[in-house]
Amino acid sequence: MSTANWNPRHKAIVVGLSLENSDESLIQTALHLARKLESPLELVHATQPIFNYMGAGDVVVNPYYGYDRVINDLEDDDARKSLETLRQTLPADIPVGIHVLRDYPSEALTTIATEMQAGLIVCGIGHKTSNTLLAGMSTAFSLASHADVPVLIAPTECPIDMATRPRVMIADNLEVEGRRALEAAIQLADELDCSEICHTHVHKMGVNEVQHMVTKVMEAMNLGKIPPNPQFSSHVYLEEIKNKINDELSYRFHNSAGAQRVTSRYQVLVAFGNPAEELHKATMQRKSQLIVFGRHHLFHRRRFALGKIPYEAMMEQGVATLIVPDGAES
């Protein structure tokens, strides 16, 4: 179903918790959203099975055989107690459910989201602490690549205040994925009463590349004894591209459902160069608290490969990332 019909208000917000100290900021972010959207929270913790096996020839031996179920049950009980203790500390006016599943975190979250007909999944992400490419991001990437509802990936270092008119940035690739992100962002911006919607596109050519291309064209014109065009320059060419993209972004926005409700807060931003670098600059300049991507920007399903936006674009400190799926449920 089109993301134009997606509305998270009054729908469950599923929150993945590790039951560690890093959960505190994530819970505060989720509480801000729950209050603003008048939605219940569903707190989920996944406990994974024990896979401590030893090989004995062709036979696989589990040293915990006969005890693994007991160990699993004890671990599940401890997790439920921790979640119940946490629930008692949360505001009484927000309905909170708790769930413990023996599964991988991304699967557990999507299972509960389906059961509860959730409008949003929230999971945490920490900044890089090592040189490992995807360190600490496996759950976020897995959810972003296959969840059927929008996924909010929030930093665990500090909560994101979604209650006081946050600033939203939309990364639009001018294709169908960008349109889905735009539709969802408009809906959420209206619900959260966002103070700004910055509709952004990063052109794949950098300024230096444009300058190089223009120089080569002018050299070719000279060799061909073609009279030079005084209007042909890198500056003029960049402005022409920028104006065309501006027009396309504005057209896409004004022809999206609900755009009239947030038009007064709408801004267009066109940049040239490396997407992650330019989005970082734009985020810092606009002081955005939320960046919205279509799924294509993150993971290409058919190729099973990273898409056009490098994962560093998800790692802005103090900024949350909303990943919009192929078709969000209404």
What residues make up the domain containing 32? 3-324
Give domain status of residue 110, yes or no: yes
**Which pTM does this prediction carry?**
0.82
Give domain status of residue 330, yes or no: no
By mean pLDDT, which of 7-11, 154-158, 298-302 is the weakest? 298-302
Give domain status of residue 329, yes or no: no
Give residue-wise pLDDT tens across range 56-67: 555 555 555 555
Give domain status of residue 171, yes or no: yes
Give domain status of residue 240, yes or no: yes
Which CATH number goes with the domain that contains 315? 3.40.50.12370
Give the integer Cα–Cα distance in Å for 311 and 170: 16
Q: What are phi and psi of 140, to 5 degrees?
A: -60, -45
Provide the number of structural domains found in the chain: 1
Give residue-wise pLDDT tens across range 158-204: 889 888 899 999 999 898 888 999 999 999 999 999 999 999 999 87
**CA torsion sign, 16 to 21 to 25 to 27?**
positive
Give domain status of residue 265, yes or no: yes
In 3-state terms, what secondary structure has residue 65? coil
Give domain status of residue 37, yes or no: yes
Task: Give which of 40, 164, 177 is closest to 113, Cα–Cα.
Answer: 40
Average pLDDT over residues 234-252: 88
Give domain status of residue 52, yes or no: yes
In 3-state terms, what secondary structure has residue 80? helix
Looking at per-residue pLDDT, the higher value among 44 and 326 belongs to 44
